[in-house]
Amino acid sequence: MPETLLIVQNISHEGPGLLQELLLHRNIATERVDLSLGDTVPDPLNFSAMVVLGGPQSVNDDTPAMHQQLKQIRRAISLKVPYLGICLGMQALVKAAGGRVVPCLLPERGFLAPSGEPYRMVVTETGAGEALFDNLAEGFRVFQLHGERVEPGTGTELIGRGTVCPHQAVKVGTNAYGLQYHCEMTPAMFSQWMEIDPSLKAMERKLLFRQFDAVAEEYRATGLRLLGNFLDIAGLGKEGKQ
């Protein structure tokens, strides 16, 4: 199997972010496709691992692009190709594995829940032994940007629980993972999303930036560790890791 990582973008402005730093540091070859530009998802059999990123679409969309994406995710699960899905990519994993994606009772936006409580993900007892969470705290702050949530099917494990939407991290099979929150987000991505996303544009801009500044250092360290753990699981670029 070639040592190449497949990256699937659902929209151009939701790129790999912190993951790209690790890929460059570890000298990992990648193939990136952008479904919003008309690309298709290649056969995961030809890659060492697969990452599917976020986007404004729904996995319930009746479009050729979504149907083809779900088909290839099912193939990745069947072939045991290491998989990481972020936000929409997590929801696609759950649906591909037989679960459902439904509207949130309360959409999650930004760093704080409507109650004022910070959005956090806490590793469950099931997830405590997962290599994905090696050398990470039991719980940490997260950034949310989604209006749908998952209802996992049989065989999908809950490995991380959230503040409002409970299913924040899941595992399917031996090496397919999904994260509802944006672990890959960089300050540049956050600034760009603030100009693009309607729900973020409706929020108080200066307050959001202050909230990000307050957690930026921890957020970056946690994101790099988690994404690095996934690359380790996939056996990609370990020799380059510091």
Tokens of 9: 């973008």
In which domain, by residue range, is 175 found?
4-240
pLDDT in tens, the chain (242 residues): 458 999 999 999 999 999 999 999 999 999 999 999 999 999 999 999 999 999 999 999 999 999 999 999 999 999 999 999 999 999 999 999 999 999 998 899 999 998 999 999 999 999 999 999 999 999 999 999 999 999 999 999 999 999 889 999 999 999 999 999 999 999 999 999 999 999 999 999 999 999 999 999 999 999 999 999 999 999 998 744 43
| CATH number, position 45 | 3.40.50.880
Question: CA neighbours within 13 Å on the CB side: how many for 139?
Answer: 10
Cα separation, 93 vs 95, whole angstroms = 6
Three-class SS state of 119: coil
In the sheet that 139-141 helps form, which strands lie side by side, from edge to edge? 29-34, 4-9, 49-52, 83-86, 176-179, 167-172, 156-162, 120-123, 139-141
The total number of structural domains that make up the chain = 1
**Which tokens hold the place of 52?**
């599917």
